[in-house]
């Protein structure tokens, strides 16, 4: 009998020992996981701090000055605010941004609060964009002789999905050989292309397309003692001969022999008060390219419900350039060759829009699209900082095949985005979703979710019903 009475005590001791072992093992696992998460958090914080430190600015001071922050209550620092805005620019979801901010330990605020802070940040983001541009590794493309820097200039339109027209215009000055921006400016649709705010310096050589072939733009380059190669249309810029008589561009092109590939003549812009002589260069396009250009001119004329002019069809067979480069060091063929490099800025726009999703903007609310556009440009400039350390010039000069640019740009962009919004937050959500339920359950839907409603109904009809997986 005494042995039978001792069994419960021994069973209790065994059960207590097993329970203590289980608690010890659980605490050990939790400690290991906590240490692992702390290591990951420190690593992520280090990556972000290194990334944001490349912005040469006191973020706390500028955030207050430009009205992005008034007090540190929920969001503790301007760096955290900037990170939240950049996260939103990459995911384009206020709810997902709130969850990412929670997972990174930045703050626990609603998506409505994030929306208000993004909307207030537009002036601050413009300032950060200009400050960051100064810190991009600027390695000017030196050409030699009197030319100091070689710059491509162009603009591209950006609009929200479903927009009826142009909403913003991105003006870009580009160093093609080092793949670095010299200037990035975002304006509204009312500001056209030009060189007034291009930041040109004496000795620069700027190459631009026919949208810049007007006297207002050309005069800017001449006044700062810079050089230019600008494409012209046959009618936008009135020219004169050296004796002051009108210069007939179409008649000059008609007189060129069919087998002559290029020609040059000295002219004067009629509106130039100083009557400075300039070089007008014409290069004949290959027959297939000329026919393609004429087809586009006819198609555009048909779209405008008019017949194409014979002068337009004739000029479509030539690349007409105006330049002030000295002819002794810059023969006609070299001028034409340098203008062909202008296509590199078009590829830059394509890479930014397709690989970096620059033109992927939120539709609603409309006002939030502008700060998102500026935030995307900040991410792109952070990417350009890292691309600037690569030996591009050595690669171009090497006898080996040159590397393709697009994969490098795409991988670098993805790396910058990973630093801004690390995927470890997704692992946190899948491992322990409880902290995120507050945001997952906050919905603007007035009706309940269909699956939740169906589950409650089935549970009432079938007491044994379980919505979990079978087995």
- Inside any domain, residue 6: no
Q: In sequence order, what E strands does 293-446 have?
A: 318-323
Together in a domain, 250 and 313: yes
Confidence band of 347 (pLDDT split at 50, 70, 90): very high
pLDDT at 17: 58
Q: Which two tokens stand for residue 234?
A: 């046959």
Confidence band of 36 (pLDDT split at 50, 70, 90): very low
For residue 255, what are the domain limits? 210-341
- Calculate the dihedral angle through the C-alpha atoms of 91, 93, 97, 100, rounding to the nearest 10 degrees: -60
Position 135 pLDDT exceeds 50? yes
Confidence band of 44 (pLDDT split at 50, 70, 90): low
pLDDT at 46: 79
Confidence band of 303 (pLDDT split at 50, 70, 90): confident
- Inside any domain, residue 110: yes
Confidence band of 442 (pLDDT split at 50, 70, 90): low
Together in a domain, 188 and 241: no
Together in a domain, 398 and 433: yes
Please name the residues in contact with 358: beta carbons below 8 A apart, sequence gap of 6 or more.
158, 170, 352, 373, 376, 377, 380
Together in a domain, 275 and 391: no
Together in a domain, 65 and 86: yes
Together in a domain, 204 and 215: no
pLDDT at 468: 60
Half-sphere exposure of 294 (CA within 13 A, CB side): 15
Q: In sequence order, what E strands does 270-389 have?
A: 277-284, 318-323
In this predicted model, what pLDDT tens digit does every residue of 185-237 receive, in sequence order? 999 988 889 998 888 999 999 999 999 999 999 999 999 999 999 999 999 99
pLDDT at 162: 80
Among 13-27, 93-107, 322-336, the range scoring the smallest mean pLDDT is 13-27
| Rounded Cα–Cα distance for residues 248 and 267 (Å) | 11
Together in a domain, 333 and 298: yes
Together in a domain, 80 and 197: yes
- Inside any domain, residue 346: no
- Inside any domain, residue 275: yes
pLDDT at 399: 87
Together in a domain, 68 and 195: yes
In this predicted model, what pLDDT tens digit does every residue of 415-428 receive, in sequence order? 999 999 999 999 99
Q: Nearest 5 degrees, angle CA 379-CA 381-CA 384? A: 115
Together in a domain, 179 and 81: yes
Mean pLDDT of 118-135: 92
- Inside any domain, residue 173: yes
Give how many domains the chain has, as a whole number. 2
- Inside any domain, residue 20: no
- Inside any domain, residue 33: no
Together in a domain, 297 and 372: no
- Inside any domain, residue 43: no
Percent of the chain with pLDDT over 70: 85
Together in a domain, 376 and 298: no
pLDDT at 144: 60
- Calculate the dihedral angle through the C-alpha atoms of 143, 149, 152, 153, rounding to the nearest 10 degrees: -160
The mean pLDDT of the chain is: 86
């Amino acid at each position: 009998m005494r042995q039978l009475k001792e069994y419960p005590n021994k069973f209790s001791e065994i059960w207590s020992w097993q329970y203590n072992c289980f608690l010890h093992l659980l605490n050990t696992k939790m400690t290991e996981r906590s240490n692992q998460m702390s290591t990951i958090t420190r690593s992520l914080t280090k990556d972000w701090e290194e990334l944001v430190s490349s912005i040469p600015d006191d973020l706390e001071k500028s955030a207050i000055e430009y009205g992005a922050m008034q007090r540190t209550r929920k969001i503790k620092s301007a760096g955290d605010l900037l990170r939240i805005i950049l996260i939103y620019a990459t995911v384009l979801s206020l709810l997902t941004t709130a969850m990412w901010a929670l997972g990174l330990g930045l703050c626990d605020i609603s998506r409505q609060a994030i929306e208000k802070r993004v909307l207030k940040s537009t002036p601050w983001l413009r300032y950060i964009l200009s400050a960051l541009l100064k810190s991009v590794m600027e390695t000017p493309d030196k050409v030699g002789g009197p030319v100091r820097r070689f710059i491509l200039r162009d603009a591209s339109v950006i609009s929200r999905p479903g927009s009826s027209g142009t909403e913003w215009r991105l003006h870009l000055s580009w160093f093609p050989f080092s793949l670095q921006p010299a200037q990035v400016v975002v304006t509204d649709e009312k500001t056209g292309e030009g060189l007034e705010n291009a930041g040109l310096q004496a000795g620069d050589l700027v190459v631009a397309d026919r949208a810049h072939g007007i006297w207002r733009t050309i005069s800017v380059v001449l006044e700062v003692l810079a050089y230019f190669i600008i494409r012209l249309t046959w009618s936008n810029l009135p020219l004169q001969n050296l004796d002051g008589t009108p210069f007939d561009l179409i008649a000059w092109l008609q007189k060129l022999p069919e087998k002559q590939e290029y020609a040059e003549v000295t002219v004067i812009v009629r509106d130039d008060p100083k009557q400075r002589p300039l070089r007008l260069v014409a290069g004949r396009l290959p027959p297939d390219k000329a026919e393609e250009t004429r087809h586009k001119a006819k198609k555009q004329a048909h779209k405008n419900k008019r017949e194409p002019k014979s002068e337009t069809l004739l000029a479509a067979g030539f690349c007409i350039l105006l330049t002030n480069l000295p002819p002794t060091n810059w023969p006609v063929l070299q001028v034409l060759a340098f203008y062909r490099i202008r296509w590199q800025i078009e590829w830059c726009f394509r890479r930014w829009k397709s690989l970096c999703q620059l033109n992927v903007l939120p539709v609603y609310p409309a006002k939030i699209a502008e700060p998102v556009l500026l935030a995307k440009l900040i991410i792109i400039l952070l990417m350009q900082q890292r691309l600037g350390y690569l030996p591009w010039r050595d690669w171009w000069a090497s006898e080996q095949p040159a590397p393709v640019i697009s994969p490098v740009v795409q991988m670098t962009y993805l790396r910058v985005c990973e630093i801004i919004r690390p995927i470890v937050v997704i692992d946190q959500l899948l491992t322990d979703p409880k902290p995120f339920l507050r945001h997952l359950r906050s919905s603007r839907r007035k009706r309940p979710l269909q699956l939740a409603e169906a589950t409650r109904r089935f549970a009432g009809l079938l007491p044994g019903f379980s919505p979990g997986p079978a087995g």
